Amino acid sequence: MISVQTQDFDIAALYRQLNDDQLNPNGYGAIVTFVGKVRDFNQQQHVGAMSLEHYPGMTEKSLLAIIEQAKSRWPIGEPIIIHRVGDLLPGDQIVYIGVTSAHRKAAFEACEFLIDYLKIKAPFWKKEQTDQGLVWVDARETDQNAATRWTQEVD
């Protein structure tokens, strides 16, 4: 399940949703969740508010494609990905990934894969309010490398 939304999300409600039998054809054993939050610093700069833009349509398509890749690679249930857009403040929740599996290793790996791929494939852009004014966040090479690692591990 995916959602791109301006409103905040409730991790307790999402946990109950992950516990749903119908989403877990492979049985329980492990639930791994990741919550990304807005930082109050970035590349040595203090960050106030930020706003997130996305490409409606392509965003949803790319998240569904990433989920399909994860499901073909690990024995996991239906993952949940929530990503917020619009105006956010430091400390706000920004992204949620939830993965279930019969085995913890699969759940951990799939969760990390999903966030790594989201960071380089899903069309979101952050603009931050810093001491220097409003600046678009630069893409980082470390994010690219984190995602590339998963392709190398396959080969």
Chain residues in the site for other proteins (CB under 8 A): 36, 52-55, 57-58, 61-62, 83, 94-95, 115, 118-127, 136-139, 143
In whole angstroms, the minimum distance from the beta carbon of 33 to other proteins comes to 15
In whole angstroms, the minimum distance from the beta carbon of 43 to other proteins comes to 12
Q: Determine the Cα–Cα distance for residues 67 and 42; give it in Å rounded to an integer.
A: 28
Which of 103/126 has CB closer to other proteins?
A: 126
Which of 19/145 has CB closer to other proteins?
A: 145
In whole angstroms, the minimum distance from the beta carbon of 29 to other proteins comes to 26
In whole angstroms, the minimum distance from the beta carbon of 94 to other proteins comes to 8
Which of 102/135 has CB closer to other proteins?
A: 135
In whole angstroms, the minimum distance from the beta carbon of 52 to other proteins comes to 7
Which of 9/124 has CB closer to other proteins?
A: 124
Which of 65/89 has CB closer to other proteins?
A: 65
CA 113 to chain centre: 9
Q: Mind giving me the DSSP string for the chain?
A: -EEEESS---HHHHHHHHT-GGG-TT--SEEEEEEEE--SEETTEEEEEEEEEE-TTHHHHHHHHHHHHHHHHS-B---EEEEE-EEE-TT-EEEEEEEEESSHHHHHHHHHHHHHHHHHHS-EEEEEEETTEEEEPPP-HHHHHHHHHHHHHH-
